[in-house]
Amino acid sequence: MGKFEAKHVHRAHEIEIDAPVADVFPLLTPTGEELWVEGWAPVYLHPRSRETQAGMVFTTGEGADLTLWSVADYDPVRHTARYVRVTPASRFGYVEVVCDAAAAARTRVRVAYTYTALTDAGNAFIEQLTEEGYRRMIEEWRQLIGAYLAGR
């Protein structure tokens, strides 16, 4: 039996959204994503208010996709957030979100995911997370957030 060797990957992509940073950044929080991500339904464990803050804990998914999340850092003034996420059946990761004003009504958003495999399933996930696939995922966020903002 071979020794498990964990794969590790870091992916980052930047998009711009035609809206002020004060409107965009809140949409990149757990409760904000519920407004524009179909099927995003976190189970909030702490705090009961569901207010995004450092120390917030929630879960998503079920079975092998059950993911435990915590907000490690959250600064709504600087428009930054860092999440820790663990999908015990496959991977450990960090998600970093940084927003800044590209113009008065335009926001630059940088999203970075860093994963380390915990199992062979995690290694398979990481192998499939290509730079191009990651870029497409974050570009879809731009489209979905833009559509949400246009329709509200």
pTM equals: 0.94
Q: Does residue 3 fall inside a structural domain?
A: no
Q: Does residue 134 fall inside a structural domain?
A: yes
Average pLDDT of the chain is 96
Q: Does residue 36 fall inside a structural domain?
A: yes
The per-residue pLDDT for 99 is: 98
Q: Give the count of domains, the chain.
A: 1
Q: Does residue 118 fall inside a structural domain?
A: yes
The per-residue pLDDT for 105 is: 95
CATH number of the structural domain spanning residue 131: 3.30.530.20
More confident residue, 61 or 2: 61
Domain of 18 in residue numbering reads as: 8-151
Q: Does residue 102 fall inside a structural domain?
A: yes
The per-residue pLDDT for 152 is: 79
Q: Does residue 2 fall inside a structural domain?
A: no
Q: Does residue 41 fall inside a structural domain?
A: yes
Q: Does residue 49 fall inside a structural domain?
A: yes
User: In percent, how much of the chain has pLDDT > 70?
Assistant: 99
Say whether pLDDT at 2 is over 80: no
- Does residue 26 have a cis bond before it (omega within 30 degrees)? no
Rounded mean pLDDT, 3-13: 97
User: In percent, how much of the chain has pLDDT > 90?
Assistant: 97
Band of the pLDDT at 61, cuts 50, 70, 90?
very high
The per-residue pLDDT for 56 is: 98
For CA atoms 132, 135, 137, 140, give the dihedral sign: negative
56: nearest Cα among 65, 40, 44, 67: 44
